[in-house]
Structure 1
Amino acid sequence: MSVDKDERQRHLPAGRKAQLAAYVAEAGQVTVSALAERFGVSIDTVRRDLDQLSADGVLVRTYGGAVSRSTLQRTDRAVDQRLSIQEGEKEQIAQLAAALVDDGSTIMINGGTTTLALARGLSQHRELTVATNNLLVPAALPASAIRDIYVFGGAVRALTLATIGPVSFRANGGAELDIRCDLALIGVGAIAADAGYTTSNLAEAAMMQEMISRADRVAILADSSKFGRRLFAQVSELSAADYLVTDAVPPPALRDALEAAEVELITPGQ
């Protein structure tokens, strides 16, 4: 009895990984258990294949599965979807960014899941004043770390659970109060040497620009999947930031541009 060529190939590591990569690209997002069942191999084998394909840049590993690069590059995804993408990288970035926060300081945090991870990671801090447009941040902040929390008003963008409006507060008489912060922690959607920091929504970009303008220091938070990409709206040029906090060293062209812009690169192991 003859054996189908595709069936034979799927049990060879190189052939299986090629088919697995093609399947993830077609499906967009898959789980380890579904792949193990489809390809007739163990969960550990699938995990090893996914780890290798992720290291090769073919796909992106997530908790319990993988996401295709094309899916990752769709700029507008709901918060619950984005929470599971690059989860480990976001936790690394959050830990590094938390080290930039001084006790007793005032910080601004914008919308996004990387900045949400940062908020959760501030448990060792004390007496912080936090201003944010991220509606998930107040509940995520450790109570022991906080002196005051302020949420910027405006329309709520349901996709990201963040407000879109002016970075301002008004006194009882209606006059706008002048506000500043010691550190703005800004998550962005993309970073490129020529385009700077960009995001997919114009109103969000305007709010991020204003947060940056009101900060003594600025830290951009972005995982390495954002490198070399440009989205619809520019937040700022590279030089507007004091730090780029990320999970991996950027490719040479972007790294050189960051150095020229005097942006301090903060990565694990430094």
Structure 2
Amino acid sequence: MGDRQSTENSLQPVRLPAGRKAEIAAFVAEVDQVTVAMLSARFGVSSDTIRRDLDQLDADGIVVRTHGGAVSRSAMVVTEKKLDVRMQLHTTAKEKIGELAATLVDDASVIMINAGTTCLALARHLRNHRELTIATNNLRIPAEVSPKAVNDLYLFGGAVRFAGQSTVGPVSFRVTGRSTDLELRCDLALISVGAVSADGGYSTSNVSEAVMMGEMIARATRVAILADSSKFGAPLFAQVAALGAADYLVTDQEPPPELADALQRHGVKVLLPPAAPAV
């Protein structure tokens, strides 16, 4: 009896590492985003094993590795609309926000601007400014900003995101002859985000972009978040910063009561374009 049971046990299927990774890939594709803890519990292996599996799946181009988990590549594609399409959305609101945000910029100041169509509207409204230093990851900014407004314009390097016409990488510059990057600071960071919520703060759908935006915020004396009213609501996948990290929220409509209260508690000033004159 004992020999028979031993033989039966030996015939039981064993989950091989390659099979587990295939199951992980299928599970991520099904639910779009996962955490290491979730996978560890589901597959009954250690967190370190899951991390190694996810690292390999990311290297193979099957999932996108994130801090603490992974995201399906199909989810990333769906959440990123091409820039030319996004430029056709909420155009009036974006122009108003860009014009208003430009009033926060002082002549001869240093500003950082991230990617996004609202920031392109901002760049166009800087045409009457002078002696600006601009650092950005937005590849369209050089074509949109007036040369008369700028003393120096710097583009951050990194991987190019064709859909967003931007780069994603460190907020830093390396100078020949120095062993470390230059320490960068700016007077004002103007950051366009994908969502604004009372609980989730400022967020976006791309992890690498969120990290870069957060670095810009950390290097700024003042911070202005640019977001039209369609961005009010549930947070997106990657948090850029907590609500109180900004000095200003530049938008086109009054935020809903819960968000307005949270902004006030955190000392964030809401800037709205002037109301249209009554006819």
Q: Give the TM-score normalised by the residue count of structure 2.
A: 0.70
C-alpha distance in 2, partners of 1:162/1:229? 25
Q: Percent identity?
A: 60
- Counterpart position of 2:118: 114
1:255 offset after TM fit, Å? 0.2
**3-state secondary structure, aligned to 1:191:** strand
> Which residue among 192, 208, 212 is the counterpart of 2:213?
208
- Counterpart position of 1:147: 151
Matched, 1:236 2:262: no
C-alpha distance in 2, partners of 1:93/1:176? 34
The C-alpha deviation readout for 1:87-132, integer Å capped at 9, x for no partner, is: 0000000010000000000000000000011011101100000000
C-alpha distance in 2, partners of 1:81/1:176? 36
- Counterpart position of 1:252: 257
1:269 offset after TM fit, Å? 2.0
**Residues 164-203 of structure 1: matches in 2 within 5 Å?**
164-173=168-177, 174-203=179-208
Matched, 1:262 2:267: yes
Matched, 1:220 2:225: yes
C-alpha distance in 2, partners of 1:248/1:101? 21
Matched, 1:163 2:157: no
The C-alpha deviation readout for 1:238-269, integer Å capped at 9, x for no partner, is: 00000000000000000000000100000012
**3-state secondary structure, aligned to 2:261:** helix
- Counterpart position of 1:125: 129
- Counterpart position of 2:22: none
Which letter maps to 1:187? Answer: S
Q: Give the TM-score normalised by the residue count of structure 1.
A: 0.72
Q: Which moved further from structure 2: 214-223 or 74-83? A: 74-83
C-alpha distance in 1, partners of 2:237/2:94? 23
Larger radius of gyration, structure 1 or 2? 2
1:211 offset after TM fit, Å? 0.1
Matched, 1:92 2:96: yes
**3-state secondary structure, aligned to 2:263:** helix
C-alpha distance in 2, partners of 1:229/1:144? 40
1:75 offset after TM fit, Å? 3.2
C-alpha distance in 2, partners of 1:76/1:153? 20
The count of residues paired between Structure 1 and Structure 2 equals 197
1:175 offset after TM fit, Å? 2.2
Q: Flag structure 1 segments of 5+ consecutive residues without an equivalent.
A: 1-73
1:237 offset after TM fit, Å? 0.5
The C-alpha deviation readout for 1:35-76, integer Å capped at 9, x for no partner, is: xxxxxxxxxxxxxxxxxxxxxxxxxxxxxxxxxxxxxxx631
- Counterpart position of 1:75: 79
Runs of 4 or more, structure 1, over 2 Å off, are none
